[in-house]
Structure 1
Amino acid sequence: MSISRLELQNYLDGMLRVSEISDYCPNGLQVEGTGNIEKIVTGVTASQALVNAAIEANADALIVHHGYFWKGESLAVTGMKKRRLSALLTNDLNLFAYHLPLDVHPEFGNNRQLASILDIQNISAVTGVKPVGVVMQGNFEEPIEGLALQAKLQQLLGRDVLIEGPISKPISTLAWCTGGGQGFIEQAVELGVDAFITGEVSEQTVHTAREMGITFFAAGHHATERYGVKSLGEHIKQQFDVSVEFIDIDNPA
């Protein structure tokens, strides 16, 4: 089975509400390839390694969370950017990228998928943070100690997880933001939750966790954002009966 590029683009742009969400990059079709799509590869970041893997898999489209053309980057098509774009264009490979629209989606988003993996209950978006859904909150059915949650995250995500703040107190309520969401720790404190999970950590984040008494986890930018695009690909496969393969290019960050 196959789907046209335009049909896939319209479906994803509509479902992910691209026109409603302001972002730091263009969302949707970033590089135009073949008009007929039979095989799709999904992955976190459109690195050269993932582009090469998609070409090796004979894909017609690559769908990622982190694409190209970020605000503030050089407009010159040289070096790394030239090599990536050249590979896509030479092989007529479509590149679709969805950044914040994929983070916040209530079903296929990175935040929602991380909650599913951790079996978090009573999930809701924090309405005071825009776009709504970039920070979520919920609770565990049974309280879990900080060190036990660290071990659970490490087992599920397959990487080391930093814990700061109170490490042994029971955690019932929590907030989270996948990827580089450490800047939202103060909003998490204002919510009154026991813990905050994100992907990255900054120097000041550690002091905030210690001084405000909130248990903080940095579980990896890549590791916390594998599951949104993977879930989106599985949905596309069911919706359109096309071949979809998730390829994970490991990244320790």
Structure 2
Amino acid sequence: MNLNEFEQTIKKIFGTELLEEHDDYGFTNTSNDDIKKVGYATNLSLETVEQAIQQGVDLIVTHHDAWDFLYGLREACVKKMQEHNISHFWIHAPLDFVEFGTCTSLMEALEINTIKKYSSYNEEDGDFPGIGEYSNSLDFNLLREKMCSKLNEPVRAWKNNSKEVKRIGVLTGAGHSSAVIQKAVDEGCDTYITGEATLYAIQYAEFAGINLLVGSHTFTEIYGVKTLAQKIVELNPNVVVTELKETHFELNH
């Protein structure tokens, strides 16, 4: 697979309409045009580039590019990728809002039985969480333990009502807004899951009586990138994919 064929694969997976609506993706580096091995991760960082070097990866696919406000990081990553003939492609908003994306893939990892609504965004009302339901309600602490096990990290938890968990709102990234939590409340959710939380999110969840579970941004979103990697292989069977393992660097936050 070359980079042009890879771009065509992305268009097939996401569809032209979604990519045009959320123009938040692209190549950071195009050193290698002969793609036999793809490595995937949530973030572009020196850590993931080093993993790619060690594993003989030709193309890194991530959810996040190196953010502009991480001054100099993108340039350092590109320099290292160029030295080792590695290309990089990132895809942010389209992966958040495609049907199989970050929120849906996390809900599936948590074995939520029915997806009622997919996460979405519009300019007038902003972000909307994905909504899912368990067929059989379960204890809040059991869900917390399940999430800890799947993410392989501690999960911050606030039990704010006496109900068993049944209907859940999920927004992995940018989920710290009280406005998004209010939308989950309006959808009848008893529990809200995100990869980001602030003082105001915690305060509002308590006030609104909705349980709150908070994992790291990186590991609440890795399942969406994994699903994308699997779809790339389905369309390109000769390509091998591997996860670029990130450390749980957010745990001390």
TM-score, normalised via structure 1 length: 0.87
Identity %: 23
Distance 1:203 1:90, change over 3 A: same
Q: Note the C-alpha offset of 1:221.
A: 1.0
Question: Secondary structure, in 3 states, of the residue corresponding to 1:225?
Answer: helix
**Aligned pairs (5 A) from 1:104-143:** 104-107=97-100, 109-125=101-117, 129-130=121-122, 135-143=129-137
Q: Note the C-alpha offset of 1:158.
A: 1.2
Counterpart residue type for residue 150 of structure 1: R
Q: Tell me what 2:186 maps to.
A: 190
Q: Note the C-alpha offset of 1:167.
A: 5.6
Question: Secondary structure, in 3 states, of the residue corresponding to 1:154?
Answer: helix
Q: Distance in 2 between matches of 1:218 and 1:81?
A: 28
Q: 1:62 aligns with which of 60, 63, 69?
A: 60
Question: Secondary structure, in 3 states, of the residue corresponding to 2:122?
Answer: coil
Q: Tell me what 2:146 maps to.
A: 152
Q: CA offsets per residue over residues 72-116 of structure 1, 9 Å max, x none?
A: x48xxx743332111112222111001111122212x11111111
Q: Distance in 2 between matches of 1:127 and 1:64?
A: 19
Counterpart residue type for residue 85 of structure 2: D
Unaligned runs of 5+ in 2: none
Q: Tell me what 2:89 maps to.
A: 96
Q: Tell me what 1:228 maps to.
A: 224
2:235 is aligned with 1:243? no
Distance 1:12 1:151, change over 3 A: same
Counterpart residue type for residue 134 of structure 2: F
Distance 1:248 1:167, change over 3 A: farther
Q: Distance in 1 between matches of 2:37 and 2:120?
A: 39
Q: Tell me what 2:40 maps to.
A: 42
Q: Distance in 2 between matches of 1:143 and 1:100?
A: 31
Q: Is the 8 A contact 2:40 2:226 kept in 1?
A: yes
Q: Is the 8 A contact 1:29 1:95 kept in 2?
A: yes
Question: Secondary structure, in 3 states, of the residue corresponding to 2:169?
Answer: strand
Counterpart residue type for residue 7 of structure 2: Q
Q: Distance in 2 between matches of 1:190 and 1:93?
A: 46
Q: Note the C-alpha offset of 1:69.
A: 5.5
Q: Note the C-alpha offset of 1:68.
A: 3.2
Unaligned runs of 5+ in 1: none
Question: Secondary structure, in 3 states, of the residue corresponding to 2:241?
Answer: strand
Q: Tell me what 1:161 maps to.
A: 155
Q: Note the C-alpha offset of 1:168.
A: 4.5
Q: Note the C-alpha offset of 1:199.
A: 0.8
Residue correspondences, number: 243
Q: CA offsets per residue over residues 158-193 of structure 1, 9 Å max, x none?
A: 111112242642111111011331212121112121
TM-score, normalised via structure 2 length: 0.87
Counterpart residue type for residue 191 of structure 2: A
Counterpart residue type for residue 19 of structure 2: S
Q: 2:79 aligns with which of 86, 102, 108?
A: 86
Counterpart residue type for residue 122 of structure 2: K
Distance 1:134 1:54, change over 3 A: farther
